Every structure is written in C-alpha cells, then in structure tokens.
Amino acid sequence: MTWNVKIGINPIGWMNDDLPSLGGDTLLETALSEGREIGYAGFELGNKFPQDPAALKAKLAEFNLACVSGWYSGFLGQDSVAAEIARCEAHMYKLQFNGSKVVVYGECADTIQGQIDTALSRRPRFRDAAQWLAYGQKLNAFGAHLQQTWGITLAYHHHMGAYVESPEDIDHLMAVTEPALVGLLFDTGHAWYGGATDVVALLQRHLARVVHVHCKDVRPQVIHQARNDGWSFLTGVLNGTFTVPGDGAINFDAVLSTLHAADYQGWLVVEAEQDPAVAPSYRCASIGYQTLRRIVDSLDQTPKAAP
C-alpha cells in the first residue's frame, strides 16, 4: 500500500529569509525550476514568493508545484489572541487560497533566533507553570480560530532561540495545549540541536500530535562547538550546524519508519539553512530528496502494523 506522504522543500537552501545575504541574488524561478527538476512536489514559502494569493498560485502552477505551507511569525508569547487574529488574516487567506492545510507557527515574541550577536543561552523561557498554562490557552484559542475560519491547522514549530526549544519545552507545550487545536511541527534538526540526540524517542513521545515534518540533518561536531563557544543561532547556520537529510548524523530511516508505522499523512519537507556558496543548493537539495525518496519507496513495500 502506498504511503500517503509528499516530499516538499523549503527554499531556505537557495535563499535565506533570516540572512538575506545568503542566496540574495538567486532568482525565485531558479529555486522552483531546480526543485521541480529534482522531483519535489511542492515548496514552502519564502520572502521572494508573490504575496498576492492569485499571483502565488500562478507562479507555483508555472512549475507544477504545490504550496506546502508558509512560516507565520506569531507573538502570542506577548500579545493577545485578538491581536494575533487580526494580524494573521492576509497570510491565512493566502495559504487557504493556495490549498495549504497547515500553517507553520513560529513564536517570535522575545526570540533571539535572528540576532547574530546573541548567544543561544540567552533565549527566552517561561518562568513557571502559570505562564505555560496561559500561553497554552492562547494557542488553543488561536488554533480554534484558524480551523473554524480558514480550515487550517496550527503546526507549532519548536525552534532554537525561542520559548519552545528543548525536549522539555516541547513536553510542556503538548501538555498545556489541546490535541485537536494545536498540532506539532516536528523538526528533526531543531530537535537534535535543542537537546534530543535521540530524535526518534522524542518523536515517538508526541507522535499523535505531529501534523507537519521538517527533515533537517545536523553536524554534531559543529553543534558541540556552537554550544561550547556560545554561538548565536545564525553563527551556527553560517558555520554549518545544519545540512540536508543524508549528509549528517540523524537516522532518517528510523524517523520515517516511525512516522510510517503511525500512518502519518502529510508533507515531509527538506529544510536545511546553509550558505549556498559553501553548500551548493542544487546538489544539497538533490541529496535530501534522494534520501527521503529512497526511504519512502522502501516503506511503501512495508505493511503497516495492525492496530
């Protein structure tokens, strides 16, 4: 039985939103044509994509690509649900118009992920159970709005430099949010970097909540240096903390086998922010695709366990 997943990619390997100097001269059309040629079925959005919903649909159709999803910078860590609902309208309409079923929610309140001179150790943290609970209640309310108004599921992206970074943070988040309202975007690279060197164990713990997956590999020796030397998130990116599946230390056979056994149905998105001058975009995107394609094709021949 064919496993109902699709393999997509984020354009960050061609052009970086957090560090626009990386791939800044690369045309959007270059990324789309190369991604399609490699075999990807869709793209997540980035800063060079058309903002107008109809223009975005036309551009993706030009390359026979789907709109996988798009990052949304949320501020519920500071702001009200009402303010977030007002702020999100244009973005959610664009995703809905283009057939996306999930939105990548990244918490940007107090985040240091974009500050190149700030060590990751200075990231924000919730101080107590009351703060976690209040945050979870706001996420529940926002997730309910997204589903009821736009038919879109909130996929929460745990991220280095933000409130939800470590495995313990993810545990807290899942405990204070409703499964029907807040889904988990499981990012293999951020999971490892955040402290889960056993990525599969963390995935298994929250498997029922996973609604979207970012497939990112890591270079442990670079992460070790980043921790020891107090690097910022972006300094780590520039020095190669992340890479594509098949080029690092994460066992993607085990990750995808776990998702397959749980009958995960959604996107597997290659996302690995690197300097394209050091890690050529086409070559890296090809390695990532071929790695996932091999595993998915192999799992297609593997019967799922009986419930």
Q: Is the pLDDT of residue 7 over 90?
A: yes
CATH number, domain 6-299, options 2.60.40.10, 3.20.20.150, 3.30.2010.20, 3.10.50.40: 3.20.20.150
Is the pTM value of this prediction over 0.75?
yes
Q: Please name the residues in contact with 228: beta carbons below 8 A apart, sequence gap of 6 or more.
A: none
Q: Name the residue ranges covered by the structural domains of the chain.
A: 6-299
pLDDT of residue 2: 85
Burial of 179 (0-12, 13-18, 19+ CB in 10 A): exposed
In angstroms, how far is CA 259 from the centroid of its own chain? Answer: 16
pLDDT at res. 33: 98
Give pLDDT tens digits for 58-71: 999 999 999 999 99
Look up residue 294 and give its amino acid: R
Among the ranges given (72-81, 182-191, 252-261, 268-277), the one the predictor scored with the smallest mean pLDDT: 268-277
272-296 residues labelled b (16+ CB within 10 A) or e (exposed): bbbbbeebebbebbbbbbebbeebb
112-123 pLDDT, tens per residue? 999 999 999 999
Tens digits of per-residue pLDDT, 150-160?
A: 999 999 999 99
User: What Rg value do the Cα atoms of the chain yield, rounded?
Assistant: 18
